[in-house]
Structure formats: structure tokens, C-alpha cells
Amino acid sequence: MTPEVCTVTIGGSPWPEALPVTGASVPGGLLAAAVVLIAGGVLFLLAVRRARQRGSAEATGDVPRALTVLVLVVGLGLGMQAMVAPSATAAAPVLDYDEGCTLITVDGIDMPPATDLLPGDTTTVLTAEVTNLFEETIEVSAVAILPESADETAPFALSTLVGHHAQPLLLAPGQVTTVSVALTFPTGAGNEVQEAGAPLVLTITGAQV
């Protein structure tokens, strides 16, 4: 008798930009916001110095006016920073069971927000809980891939763990384990992968032993 095999796929093409935004370079908007904030601070200090040097009643209004300008500049800078901040929101993952799959169930899918990934960093980009629905022990394995068409993500490396152990993992009846996918940004990658995004496909397999 052929052992039963059950396959569940998470992700696929309907799940765009599953990878985190890299931090290989400083976005232009953030640089502009920093320049605005620095300029505002310089203007404020110059106004205060001018008021102290004049030391007259005529100059007493310079400091309040400078404070008003500084508040406006800070607000402008923070607004610009918020406009260019990367979004950590991703589309809901697509869960696909193969026909007649009764060995396992997959739920608790989570994709932790991951932004500003720098060369050499490793971060968890997906976790999912797998439950053995079968009356006997089964073997669980998993593999995550990036589509071959996503050339800009070539420097990224994926690693998949089942229950924080080497694969495959034996799962007793009713037992639950966690499958996790970690992504590593190699140190040799450059700014060409800035803000890279691509579908991420995770396939989990449960098989009778």
C-alpha cells in the first residue's frame, strides 16, 4: 500500500512583495527631511544669537518668531519622513491544499513585518503552524522558494525549519509544530536590490511513515 502524502502550499503569485524592503541606501525623501530639520535648527540658533546681540526691546520678538518657524520646519520634516516610510503591510497569503489532503492542517500563518534589511542581516519572513490530523505518526517537511523570474532577489537566501529542527520531523497524532522561513541578505549585495519584492512560496508536506 502506497503511503499517503499531503501537500499544502502557502503563497504563490497572488502574494506580491513578500520580501522585506532592504536598507542598502538612504531614501531621497528621508535625506530631504533631514536637510529641512537641520536648516530649521540653524535658523533658530541664528535668531536667538541675533536677539542676544541686539539686547533691545525691539529684539524681544525675534525668539518667539524663531520658535514658530522651528515648529513649522520640524512638522514639515516629520511629514516628509512619514510620506516616504516603507509600508510593512503585505497581502493576505494564499493557502492551497492538494486534493484529498487529510493528514495535516495549516493555520496560524504569520509574516512578521521586516523592513530596512541590511547586508548580512537574517530575519524570519514567515511562520505557520502544522497539526497532525492522522491517527498515526507522520513525517513533516517543508521547502521555501523564490520564483526564478525574480532576478532582483537573486542575492537573497532562504532557509526553512520545521519545529526548529533539521528536516524531516516526526509528528505524533494531534501534535503541532511550527514551520519557519528565514531570509538572509548576503553581505555582497548592493543597492541594486533596494526595495526588492517578490512572491515567496512555501510548500509543506506531510507523509505517512
Domain boundaries, the chain: 5-18+90-208, 28-84
Which residue ranges in the chain fall short of pLDDT 70?
1-2, 12-37, 39-48, 51-92, 114-115, 147-155, 189-198
The per-residue pLDDT for 194 is: 61
Whether the CB-CB separation of 53 and 160 falls below 8 Å is answered with: no
Whether the CB-CB separation of 193 and 22 falls below 8 Å is answered with: yes
Name the β-bridge partners of 201. Answer: 145
The per-residue pLDDT for 14 is: 43
- Render pLDDT for 146-161 as a digit per residue (tens, 0 to 9): 766 455 555 678 899 9
Terminal-residue alpha carbon distance, the chain: 12
Residues ≥6 apart with Cβ < 8 Å to 67: 44
User: How many residues does the structure list for the chain?
Assistant: 209
Name the β-bridge partners of 126. Answer: 181
Whether the CB-CB separation of 118 and 21 falls below 8 Å is answered with: no
- Render pLDDT for 34-51 as a digit per residue (tens, 0 to 9): 565 676 666 666 666 776
The per-residue pLDDT for 85 is: 44
CATH 3.40.50 is right for the domain spanning 5-18+90-208: no
Q: What is the reported pTM?
A: 0.63
The per-residue pLDDT for 44 is: 65
